[in-house]
């Protein structure tokens, strides 16, 4: 029996249209937040699994996917969008799952709306080395040359690709391998379908303005989490190395669990969807202590 497809909706926040999809039902609401150059389709393999227990909302952040670019791009825009979604759902609390750049957004939501977040999942992040790259690029790259992967991501994520070109790249094995190399250690393990989901977010008009925010932006307060948190990383992730995740967990008592997936890179939800979905579903299903 096939599962119903996620339903597309629009929401106006700050005078700009925001796109999101919804699946599942119930009192528990989970918001999925993509990374730089992403869109809701990065969660295409995750949505059906979580929809068994949650009402799942996967957003296109302002300036990405099908969402309009705000007049001024700020982290506050993303926080406002997620709060607007929560209010539309008429729920007091949500669970938030973020990937890469989306892990920073998830942390900002938890910090800015502390009474609305139950549980947090950070996948491929927090991208603490990337934040260090903004502050001290030369020193950081000398210490961790693998972060050149992020520079490749940043340089290419904002380049628009016509759908015909995207379809061509999906069909050509060497082109798929070239496009995925900065993110995953074994591009050949990503199916054409999963690669199509990954490529769908490329070219978002908010990419460059979002990158500019990184210079001088202080995430210190947001990274002091107070809600139960799960970190999921890839053993071979060069953008959010496993050592960064373990270091973050050691300094942050709110992190209850760190899972490093063997052989995975920066896209665990697409590289190893079954294991990723199992970890997230189990964590979100656990009881959250009263505030």
pLDDT at residue 80, rounded to an integer: 87
pLDDT in tens, 145-177: 555 555 555 555 555 555 665 566 666 776 767
What is the DSSP annotation of 243-265?
HHHHHHHHT-TTEEEEEEETT--
pLDDT in tens, 270-283: 999 999 999 999 99
Q: Provide the percentage of residues in the chain whose pLDDT is more than 70.
A: 71
pLDDT at residue 135, rounded to an integer: 57
pLDDT at 76 over 50: yes
More confident site: 48 or 128: 48
The residues, any chain, with a CB within 8 Å of residue 116's CB and separated by 6 or more, are 83, 86, 92, 93, 94, 109
Closest CA to 226 of 105, 120, 88, 83: 120
pLDDT in tens, 171-222: 677 676 766 777 788 887 787 777 777 776 665 655 556 655 655 566 676 7
Kind and range of the H or E run holding 120: strand 117-123
What would the two tokens of residue 109 be?
């939501």
> What is the average pLDDT across 223-245?
91
pLDDT-derived band of residue 50, with 50, 70 and 90 as boundaries?
Answer: very high
pLDDT at residue 133, rounded to an integer: 56
If you compute the radius of gyration of the chain from its CA atoms, what whole number of angstroms results? 17
């Amino acid at each position: 029996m096939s599962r119903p497809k996620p339903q597309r909706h629009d929401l106006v926040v700050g005078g700009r249209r925001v796109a999101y999809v919804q699946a599942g039902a119930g009192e528990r609401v989970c918001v999925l937040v993509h990374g730089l150059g992403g869109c809701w389709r990065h969660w295409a393999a995750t949505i059906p699994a979580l929809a068994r227990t949650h009402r799942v909302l996967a957003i296109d952040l302002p300036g990405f996917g099908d969402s309009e670019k705000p007049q001024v791009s700020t982290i506050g825009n993303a926080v406002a969008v997620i709060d607007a979604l929560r209010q539309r759902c008429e729920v007091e609390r949500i669970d938030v799952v973020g990937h890469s750049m989306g892990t920073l957004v998830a942390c900002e939501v938890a910090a800015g709306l502390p009474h609305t977040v139950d549980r947090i999942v950070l996948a491929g992040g927090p991208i603490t080395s990337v934040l260090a790259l903004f502050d001290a690029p030369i020193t950081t790259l000398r210490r961790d040359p693998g972060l050149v992967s992020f520079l490749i991501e940043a340089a290419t994520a904002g380049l628009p690709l016509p759908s015909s070109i995207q379809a061509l790249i999906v069909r050509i094995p060497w082109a798929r391998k070239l496009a995925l190399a900065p993110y995953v250690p074994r591009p050949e393990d990503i199916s054409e379908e999963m690669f199509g989901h990954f490529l769908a977010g490329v070219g978002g008009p908010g990419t460059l303005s979002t990158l500019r925010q990184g210079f001088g932006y202080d995430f210190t307060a947001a990274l002091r989490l107070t809600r139960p948190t799960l970190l999921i990383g890839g053993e071979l992730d060069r953008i959010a190395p496993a050592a960064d995740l373990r270091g973050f967990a050691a300094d942050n008592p709110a992190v209850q669990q760190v899972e490093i997936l063997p052989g995975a890179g920066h896209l665990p939800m697409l590289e190893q969807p079954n294991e990723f979905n199992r970890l997230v579903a189990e964590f979100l299903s656990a009881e959250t202590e009263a505030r």
